[in-house]
A and B are shown apart, each in its own frame.
Chain A
Amino acid sequence: MPDSAIIIPSVLNGLTTGGLYALVALGLTLIYGVLHIINFAHGALLMLGLYAVYFLNVQFGLDPYAALLIVPPAMFALGYALQRGIIGRASHGRDENILLVTLGLSIIIENLSLYFFRSDTRTVDTPYSFDVVEIFGAFLPYPKVVAFVGALMTAALLWLLMSRTDLGRAIRALAKERKGAQLVGINADHVFAMSFGLGIACLGVAACLLLPSYYVNPQVGSGFVLIAFTIVVLGGMGSFVGALIGGLIIGVVEALGGLFLGESLGQIGIFLIFILVLIFRPTGLFGARA
């Protein structure tokens, strides 16, 4: 049995990873909560964000954290345009159409990336990539601590936006009551696109925070999105608090799983949780009961 000197750093490490997972899941749950669709293109769009951060660094020497000023707004615009121009138009109001459209988008984006960027795995070099921060006696990679703080700040900003602004109220209103929302003058197409854009902008933030300690290749998104789906189910579909707490839980479970079962089996715990939640609490930890 490992002692606390090993377990505590593992838990802290898991929390920092979980923060990033939460960020990816926040976007997914926002899109699900409003549009009631599972966005299968989420992983592919995260991958695009990572490439954007990578090329901004390699071509223009822009630090990944400085790219926060460019990539999330650009991803927001991409998400808005995708929803307004392709997903919304192609759906004809049918959820199954949207699933197929996002799945198709995912395949197209991944294969175009494979064509243009090749399958090489790429990383960026930053002066702080291998720096560590000591927290409660544990030495944690500096980029992961920054990512964790960034994820919490993004979640807080998202919460403020949803609870304190007219746009946030419009998003929440439309998520639950479309007719009522239209009758107070909410432009449903615009707000749907804003929600999709915000969800994709979260991926832009995740990409900027992730790349200093991670890598990018055309398949990188699929691993994240599978975990993000698990988090969304665990936290409750459409729940922001659930996505945040669920992300942290999954991060810790993965870290402890790796500690006790070895790196290759570490993710077993995540999917065990996924199955148990589906059996015993299908609405998730913070999901609304039917």
Chain B
Amino acid sequence: MLEVSNLRAGYGAVEVLRGIDLAIDMGEIVTLLGSNGVGKTTFSAVVSGLMQPWSGAITFEGKPIAGLSSQAIVDEGVIQVPEGRHVFPNMTVRENLELGSYRRGKGNRMRNIEHVAEIFPRLRERFSQKAGTLSGGEQQMLAIGRGMMAEPRLLILDEPSIGLSPLLVEEMFSLIKQLNTDGLTILLVEQNVLQSMEIADRAFVMENGEIKLSGIPGDLMDNPELQRSYLGLA
């Protein structure tokens, strides 16, 4: 579904992504793991069209999308829920959701809002509340709900668990699993290795702008390098 090959990108003269190769098949949850500063968010930004790649190829359902504008990539169905949520704080929950379908027109808007409200009943209670007044967990739900409004074919979730309490993190991961069970393909960009591995079909581990390890979670969890670097095990 999504194929990335030899992707390079950076800021100014600093190369952040040093030849990334990654593929996601339809219906999968793929997790991209790595600690702070390894280039995960840069990778999300390039795939979403927020940053131009230096070189390399990105194809989505066979169509080259590297270097397209963010709106063209939204049109293709690749939707990113960014790290830090980036909801519209001055607008109500309903307005935030409506803007999620900005590129889709008004045809399915009401139906999609209803669908999001079913997934996140708490958002329904907050429809007329300004997004900036929501709690961190509610803002994360809104950010995902806004992404769902764009009828994604691939949903990129960038650090959805960051800043949430352990209970909410648990809730967030089971929700992500549920979205996938309902048929959504998901790229989960995370630092939370254990919980990401629990729900992912495959995992890629980034280090210094490169993919260091990849495979199915069961195998990777036994990898001594991963255990040492990310799980604190000797």
- Residues of A whose CB lies within 8 Å of any CB of B are 166, 169-170, 172-173, 175-177, 179-187, 288
Q: Is the CB of A185 within 8 A of B88?
A: no
Taken together as a complex, chains A and B put the C-alpha atoms of A288 and B132 apart, in Å, by: 13
When distances are taken between beta carbons in the complex, the residues of chain A under 8 Å from B49 are: 182
Q: Is the CB of B146 within 8 A of A184?
A: yes
CB of B152 to closest CB in A, whole Å: 11
Q: Is the CB of B90 within 8 A of A176?
A: yes
Binary A-proximity of B63-95 (CB < 8 A = 1, otherwise 0): 000000111001100011110011111110001
Q: Is the CB of B69 within 8 A of A177?
A: no
Binary A-proximity of B95-117 (CB < 8 A = 1, otherwise 0): 10011101100100000000000
The verdict on A183 contacting B102 (CB below 8 Å), with A169-B91, A169-B95, A173-B91 known, is no
CB of A93 to closest CB in B, whole Å: 13
- Residues of B whose CB lies within 8 Å of any CB of A are 48-50, 69-71, 74-75, 79-82, 85-91, 95, 98-100, 102-103, 106, 146, 150
When distances are taken between beta carbons in the complex, the residues of chain A under 8 Å from B103 are: 184-185
In-complex Cβ contact of A173 among B48, B69, B71, B99 (8 A):
B99
Closest A residue by C-beta to B79 = A183
Taken together as a complex, chains A and B put the C-alpha atoms of A237 and B192 apart, in Å, by: 41
CB of B69 to closest CB in A, whole Å: 7
CB of B117 to closest CB in A, whole Å: 18
When distances are taken between beta carbons in the complex, the residues of chain A under 8 Å from B150 are: 184-185
Q: Is the CB of B74 within 8 A of A183?
A: yes
Q: Is the CB of B99 within 8 A of A184?
A: yes
Main secondary structure of the interface of A (DSSP, over half): helix
When distances are taken between beta carbons in the complex, the residues of chain A under 8 Å from B95 are: 169
Known: A179-B86, A183-B86. 6 other contacts (CB 8 A): A172-B90, A172-B91, A180-B85, A181-B88, A182-B49, A184-B102
In-complex Cβ contact of A169 among B74, B81, B99, B146 (8 A):
B99
Closest B residue by C-beta to A174 = B88
When distances are taken between beta carbons in the complex, the residues of chain B under 8 Å from A166 are: 98-99, 102, 106
When distances are taken between beta carbons in the complex, the residues of chain B under 8 Å from A172 are: 88, 90-91
CB of A238 to closest CB in B, whole Å: 10
When distances are taken between beta carbons in the complex, the residues of chain A under 8 Å from B90 are: 172, 175-176, 288
- 11 contacts across the A-B interface (CB closer than 8 A): A166-B98, A169-B95, A177-B89, A179-B82, A180-B82, A181-B99, A182-B50, A182-B70, A183-B50, A184-B74, A184-B146
